[in-house]
Each structure stands twice: as C-alpha cells, then as structure tokens.
Amino acid sequence: MTIPIASVPNGTVTSAKGFSAGGIFAGIKTPGVDKKDIGLLYSERACAVAGTFSQNSVISPTVTLDKERVGVDKKVHAVVVNSGCANTAVGEQGMIDAKEMTDITAAHLGVTSAHTLVSSTGVIGVEIPMALMREYIPQIKVSEDGGGEFAKAILTTDKRTKEIAVSFDVDGVTHTVGGVSKGSGMIHPNMATMLAYVATDADVEPGYLQKVLSESVKLSFNQIDVDGDQSTNDTVLLLANGAAGGSTISGGDEASAAFEAAVLQVCQYLAIEIARDGEGGTKLIEVTVNSAHTEEDALKASRSCAASMLVKTAVYGRDPNWGRIFMAVGKSEIPLDESKIDCYINDIQIVAEGKAISYNVQSVVSALAGDEVRLRVDLNVGSASGVAWGCDLTEEYVVFNSAYTT
Amino acid sequence: MTIPIASVPNGTVTSAKGFSAGGIFAGIKTPGVDKKDIGLLYSERACAVAGTFSQNSVISPTVTLDKERVGVDKKVHAVVVNSGCANTAVGEQGMIDAKEMTDITAAHLGVTSAHTLVSSTGVIGVEIPMALMREYIPQIKVSEDGGGEFAKAILTTDKRTKEIAVSFDVDGVTHTVGGVSKGSGMIHPNMATMLAYVATDADVEPGYLQKVLSESVKLSFNQIDVDGDQSTNDTVLLLANGAAGGSTISGGDEASAAFEAAVLQVCQYLAIEIARDGEGGTKLIEVTVNSAHTEEDALKASRSCAASMLVKTAVYGRDPNWGRIFMAVGKSEIPLDESKIDCYINDIQIVAEGKAISYNVQSVVSALAGDEVRLRVDLNVGSASGVAWGCDLTEEYVVFNSAYTT
C-alpha cells in the first residue's frame, strides 16, 4: 500500500520538527522593504546530512568547506547563509572567511564549527564583509516559525521566496519534509545546483539519505534552466534530524517509498519555482519528452528543449514554432526516429509522425499566452519519460543582465 | 621555409580557378532589393570533396543526401542551395524533393545527379516549393564572377554576405582557396556547422582534404556561438578541382602546410563573420584561453565563455564583470587552478592570480564600447591555447526571435 503524501499549509523549511531558523539584514545587499541578507537554519538534534554541489571548475570556498564537512561527519547542527556576496574568486581569504562564518555561527548557537555548514550567493570576486558577519550573525534569533525569514535571507535577484513542506504518516508518526530555495539567474541543467535546503524530522540512514537526495536532484534541480549558465556556488542540502520520533528509514519499504516521494515532491516544487521566477521570465515552460529509449535520453532531450534560446523566445512570442522544438530535441543527439515524433502544446497536437498537421492556430496561440506552457514531445521509440522546466526569454532578461553586476 | 598566404582582393568562392556560380530570386523568401534564394556553384572539372555536417539527431534530408554522396564518390561537379525553407521535418517528401533538386540541377548543368550536392536553409517543417525549383533552377546562369550572387542566394536572417579568398604559390603555380558562408541564428559550438562552401583550384588527395577540413572546422566554425542552438541543416563543404594545374597536395610538405593555413584562414574568417553578424548582436566577442593543459581544454573553455548568456549581456552592457567570465570558463569543467588565473579585456589586465586588481575602470568600459571586444583568460597551468567567437546578447535578439518564424 502506498503511503499518501499530504501538503503542509504555509509549509517551509522549519515545518519539520526540531528545526528553527531566522534571518537579519546586515547591509550586504542594498536596503529594501523586508530585505534580509544573512540566514541561520538550526537543529538542536544532530542531523544526518546529504549534499549535492556545483560541478563548475571554479567553486566558492563555501562549497569546498561544505563538501568536506558533509563527507567527514554526517552530524550537522547548523547552516549559515549570506546573500549579496558569493565569496568566490577572492583568493585564500575566501576559505578563511568561510571558516570564520561557521565559527561565529557555532559560537552563537553553542555547537561546533565542524558541525556547521555555510553557503554564500551573490556577486563573484568581492570579499565577504566579515565585520558585518561578526556584528550581525550573533544577533540572529532562530525560532520554529523562522523558516520564512530564512527564505528571505537567501534571495538575490529572486522576485519571491520559494518554500514548501509535505508530510506522511508511518505507524502513527507524522514525518515532515520542508524546504526552501533561491535562484533566478545562472540556472542551467546538468549541475548540482543553486541554493536549496531541505529539512526533515525523519530518522534516516545517512548513506540512503544521500541516495534519495541525488535521485531527487536529478529529476528536479538538474532539469531546470533559465540561461544556460552554471553557478559557482550551487548547493542543495538535505538535513534529517529524526525529531519526528519514527523508526530509521533506510530504503526498501513503504515508509522509504513515501520518504522518497516526499523529498522528490519538495525538490521538484522548489526547482519549478526557480524556473518560474527566472530572470525576466513571464511564464513557466514545462517540457515533457515521452516514449524515449531511456530515462537519460528523455531527461536530456527535455532539458535541451527547456534550455533553448529559440524555444524560449518562440514561447515568449506565442509562436507555435515546432521546428525549433524539433531542433532543440535533436541537438541533444539522442537516438530518435523523426518520422515517429508527435508534438503537443498544452495538449493540442500540432505534429504527427514528424510532420505538421492541421490545427486551430488561434487556440495554440491562446495556450501560449498563459502563465504556464506545456510542450510535449512523444518520440514513440521506447517507454521512458523525462520532464524539464524553464522560463521564456524576454527583453527584460537582457536589460536586467546588461545593466546589473551580479 | 613557410609559403606566404596572400589575400585576394574582392575574394569569393569563385576566386579559385574553374569555379563558376550564380543565383536567382524564385520567391521562396519575401521579396527585397537584390534578394536571391537559389544559388548554384559549379566546376567543369570534377572535384574532390570533403564535408562536415550537423550532429543534430533531427537532420535535413539534404544533409543525409550530401553525406551519402560525399562518402561514395569524391568527384563532385555542382552544389545547389536554396534559402527560405530548410526542407526539414517534412516526412518522406523531404528526401524526394532533395533528390529532385539535384536532378534538375544536374540536367541544367549537364552533369549527373550523383555528382551534385544540395543544401537548404530557412524555416523548418515546411515543404520545399518544388514548382519554383523546377521553374527557376534552369534559369540560373553561372559565371566565374558569380560568387557574389551565390553568397547572396544562401542568406536567411544574415545582414550581409560573408566572402573571402586567399592564395599561395607553389613552384610558380598560384593556388587559390575561396569561400562563402551564411548564418546568424541557431549558431552554437560543438557542431559541424551552418552553411559554408570553400572551393580551391588545388589538386588535393581526397582523404587528406577531409582531414584538413575537419581540423579547420574544429578551430573555426565549431568555435562560434550566437545563441547555443544547433541547426538541423549545418553543412560545410570543401571542393578541390585541381584547376590551378599544380602537383597533388597530400600532406607533410611545405605546399600542404600552406594549403592547411589557407583553408584555416578562410574558415576562420567565414566563422568570425557569422559571429559578428549574430542575430541582434552589436559587437564581436573574441575569447582567448591561454596556458591550458590541452588544446581541447582551451577550446572548450573559450567557447563556453563565448556562449555564456551572462557574459554576452555583460559585454552588451559594457560591464567588466569578470566574475561571469570565471563562471563561464569554470562551467566547462576543465581542470584549472583558480589562484593562477589572469584575465584581460582588450589587453587591459583586470584579474591577477584569481583576484581583482586595481585598474582604470573607465578605460575598460571604453574598450567594451567598441565593435570588437577581446576577452583573454590565462590559466597558467599549461601551454595550450584556444580561441572562440561570439556576439553580445541584446533586446533585439529577443524581439527578433519572438516575432519571427524561422
């Protein structure tokens, strides 16, 4: 029997038991209404932790430090995150500052630095203003309803926070998985991606926890694109503190299946919200590739399409230009038989067996005018599917990124 | 002793002896001043021919047909090209029409279909108007000064023709290499690329000819980017008819070195002109990556940078945002040591050993305002170099591609 997954109203990263969080404005970013630029996430109970990180050859020392600490010791208590400055490409000072940020945080929360993780996001090539860190981190108050503050503190060019929580019951014990993410530019598939923090009160075996996170990231954060560019600071952390009081989850049973489904649901929601909030974007584009030879093919082809500038501009212009969809699927170089491809826009078929069919153009143009556009390509050569998400490409993206130092 | 390569004034694809060409307006494209949409390239002497083609999984039947004919028989006489319609994703009719185009051309020129190649470029998903082909191809007059007509006939969204010729002397015999290309959108590295035709009167051993073309394409057409999208119709053909009357060139001597340099020079010129004419672009961006471990690393990192939307928009906005250059080099995932990287914009150093240095910001902003911007990244970990070319990303690209069916 499948255990149902329920949505948690106003869910956020602190919806899981035993997690508290908070945020503060220290002046790293320019001031604004309700702006924050340092956030803390804390669990009194030690957490098993899994992480996936940027594959960029240039990475922030915060990523290097987190990778070490996630690898060595899976009993983490805290994560400190600042926005406005990426602490990347600043020489040796970067690692010194990243470590000091965890020292300050650990002292403030009464834990050890080795059990504290750190992320930074913002402008590359500028040193972290440590004087602000020393002054403001100790002032951050964490609380069980502080998830929203934390969600605000990690934003950069995002227009809104990205928060969710879901829950499932095992033997009368409610387990919750909550998460937050940020990201709007430098977003591209095939990475280990932007900033996202997922927290659960489930008691999870550490090796299995990493497996669940990696699989979920593959089907969520690694399938979104805003602009083809990959950040130097991408980080997804999954913390499990066991505060729900349930049995250990380690794979292979119904509770594990529910846990996997819950983590995937949280990751996909947070990933889709990043695509929807893409810089300059006016609509979410969901690309589904069905009946491919392998899941890898379907995932690759769908993200190639979601990442195509010509598909993005066609959707923006409400142009049912399926030639561009074919081009974008084909450039992924997956095996296919062109004469078998069917293509749909918001469930309206426009291509059958590789050729244009008669359809009501106005209805497709109307579909393309909505807030969400669903492109579907049925390859009809196998049985595997994949989905990817992106946003349209608009003049605003160009104006924003040619006028702004990020 | 190195044989010098000389520029041919007003050089084009028919500058090489024994080649003639012509073009006509048939009405496939919308009419305009001096517009043409079918072109013929012809050599009375049979040509050895080398080709590189699109790696897209969806390809035009014209590409399929050319690949077969280039592979089977290296004695080609003619190439017919139409613009305005890609003859792609039209089902089985596509191959029937592609073959008939070569039949009509062969009959017109008095050669055989098997020795005739064909390319199409333009809108995907629309059948070729064969009635126009049957009416207009036989009207095309080819002449030795018709290279410019041919150059016009292959254009789609290009703002100008792309033509060049160079020559070198071997034992008193002048050898000429001329070429034309088209391309402005759907331009991305790692392909075998857009439309380009290079013709030489050198007598060249066919196997060696392919080797020279492949190496030249690697360092030219495969190193440019406009928008990350890869065409379904990309084709580069190199025809050698031996009309110069020189000895056979087959590699390993000074004449071969001169031939290789001449082909590379022609390919790089034609590739750079495509990048410069990129849809919506206002300036050419040249990215050089030096002192990498391997040439492959340097080529990969330079094209990753030339293809980055955030680098393109920063250049457009005259923003010396070197963090984006670091990100883009790093996302190529080549091995590097961040603390050794130096970075220059138009020869003005802005980063030393991975960190920002003091520089006159106004002088860099002024450099970024020019028609050509040169970004240089010295990795200082090896001795290999690579260069790539792109254009900036502007609002005009978005407007153009959201308002136009291509």
pTM of the full predicted structure? Answer: 0.78
**Conformational region of residue A167, where left means phi above 0, alpha means psi within -120 to 50, and beta covers everything else:** beta
DSSP string covering B219-261: TTGGGEESSS---SS-EEEEEE--TT--PEE-SSSHHHHHHHH
For A338, nearest residue in chain B (alpha carbons): B58
Token pair belonging to A22? 């908070």
Nearest-CA residue of chain A relative to B279? A310
Q: Considering CB atoms only, which of A86, A309, A402 is closest to B229? A: A309
Q: What is the DSSP string of A216-273?
A: HHHTTGGGEESSS---SS-EEEEEE--TT--PEE-SSSHHHHHHHHHHHHHHHHHHHH
Q: Given the residues A12, A102, A193, A232, select the one marked as catalytic.
A: A193
Query: In chain A, whose CA is at the least distance from the CA of B394?
Result: A398
CB contact under 8 A, B57 and A356: no
| Active-site entry in B62, B161, B193, B394 | B193
Sequence-distant (≥ 6) Cβ neighbours of residue A233 within 8 angstroms: A54, A59, A60, A62, A63, A86, A87, A88, A119, A120, A121, A194, A195
- Band of pLDDT at residue A190, cut at 50, 70 and 90: very low
Contact B222, B388 (CB under 8 A): no
Contacts of B229 in chain A (CB under 8 A): 308-310, 324, 327-328, 331
Q: Per residue in A124-174, pLDDT tens?
A: 888 999 999 999 999 999 999 999 999 999 988 788 898 989 999 999 999
Q: What's the CA angle centered on A96, arms A90 and A102, to 5 degrees?
A: 120
Task: Tally the C-alpha atoms within 13 A of residue B191's C-alpha that lie toward its C-beta.
Answer: 32
φ/ψ of residue B155, rounded to 5: -75, 145
Contacts of A222 in chain B (CB under 8 A): none
What b/e sequence results for B189-198 when a residue is b if at least 16 CB atoms lie within 10 Å of its CB, and e otherwise?
A: bbbbbbbbbb
Letter for the amino acid at B39?
Answer: G
- Give the three-state DSSP class for A351: strand
**Taking residues B260-285, what's their average pLDDT?**
86
Reported as a single tens digit per residue, the pLDDT across B136-193 is 999 999 999 999 999 999 988 788 898 889 999 999 999 999 888 887 766 654 333 4
Q: Across residues A8-13, what is the average pLDDT?
A: 93
* pLDDT tops 80 at residue B62: yes
Residue A372 amino acid letter: E
End-to-end CA distance of chain A: 49
Dig out the tokens for B343 from the structure.
């970075």
Residue B199 sits at φ, ψ, to 5 deg, of: -125, 135
Residues on chain B touching A186 (C-beta within 8 angstroms)? 310, 327
Give the separation between CA B319 and CA B369, rounded to whole angstroms.
10
pLDDT at residue A238 greater than cutoff 90: no
pLDDT tens, residue by residue, A102-130? 999 999 999 999 999 999 988 888 899 99
Please name the member of A55, A86, A330 whose beta carbon is closest to the beta carbon of B56: A330
**pLDDT at residue A214 is higher than 80:** yes
Does A129 or A360 have the greater pLDDT score? A129
* Contact of A263 with A342, CB cutoff 8 Å: no
Neighbours of A6 (CB within 10 A): 14
Instruction: Take residue A361 and report the two structure tokens written for it.
Output: 């153009």
Give the C-alpha separation, B72 to A319, whole Å.
41
Distance from CA of A222 to the nearest CA of B (A): 14
Contact B354 A310 (CB under 8 A): no
Q: What are the C-alpha distances in Å from A162 to residues A179, A275, A276, A286?
A: 8, 11, 10, 18
**Is the separation of the CB atoms in A82 and A133 below 8 Å?**
yes
Q: What is the pLDDT of residues B187-228, one digit of tens each?
A: 654 333 477 778 888 888 888 888 888 887 777 776 766 666
Q: Which domains does chain A have, with CATH numbers?
A: 6-276 (3.60.70.12), 284-402 (3.10.20.340)
Tell me how many degrees the CA angle A131-A132-A134 measures, rounded to the nearest 5.
Answer: 65
Instruction: Please state, in angstroms and as integers, the Cα–Cα distance from residue B85 to each residue in B38, B82, B90, B123, B127, following that order.
Output: 11, 7, 11, 5, 7
Clarify whether A193 is annotated catalytic: yes
